[in-house]
Amino acid sequence: MANISEKLNEEYNIQVKEELESGYIYLAMSAWFAERTLNNLAAWFNKQAEEEFEHAMKFVNYILDTGGKVEYAELKKPKGDFNNILEILEAAYEHEKHITGRIHHLYEVANDLKEYSAFPMLNWFLDEQIEEEEQTAALIDKYKGYANDFNFDHHIKREE
């Protein structure tokens, strides 16, 4: 595989931070649910956090496999005080849209630099983001159909 350019290496390191922060955000959300014994939602967001850490490692491995340098940046403290379930679900959806925008940006950078070897992984992420946005949007829609939080939590199961 060709060596990664300095610019794409820099952008991928930014994405590593974004993915790690995503995991951190979802862990904070999971803790909020767990503190309120909304255990299925806590498990759903904990699983989401695990996936984000896996995504970060995909970028790390790509950087290393292409002769780049991994540089870990300081992570921002995630929000931990929420008012209700809907606020969390909407925040998760908005965050996924932000990450989709980041993946689009990376695709544009790779294209501008003619680093076509980056496309297979970025295509995987484009598909993944469609799924991520759909899942969080579906949670919002489902939540709006329930009369109370515990009933909603009882019916949340994470499909693998």
Instruction: Identify the pLDDT of residue 144.
Output: 83
- Which sequence spans correspond to the domains of the chain? 6-73+80-152
Q: Indicate the SS3 state at residue 126.
A: helix
Above pLDDT 90, what percent of the chain?
A: 86
**Strand ranges for 74-151 from DSSP E:** none
How far does Cα 63 stand from its chain's mean position?
Answer: 19
* Residue 103, number of CB atoms within 10 A of its CB: 19
State the Cα–Cα distance between residues 12 and 121, nearest whole angstrom: 12
Instruction: Identify the pLDDT of residue 10.
Output: 98
Residue 158 reports pLDDT greater than 60: no
C-alpha distance from residue 62 to each of 2, 31, 55, 97 (Å): 11, 31, 11, 23
Q: Kindly state the average pLDDT of the residues 72-98.
A: 96
Q: Kindly state the average pLDDT of the residues 29-47.
A: 95
Span 6-73+80-152: which CATH code? 1.20.1260.10
Question: Could you tell me if 12 and 63 are in contact, meaning their C-beta atoms sit under 8 angstroms apart?
Answer: yes
The greatest distance separating any two alpha carbons of the chain, rounded to the nearest whole angstrom, comes to 55
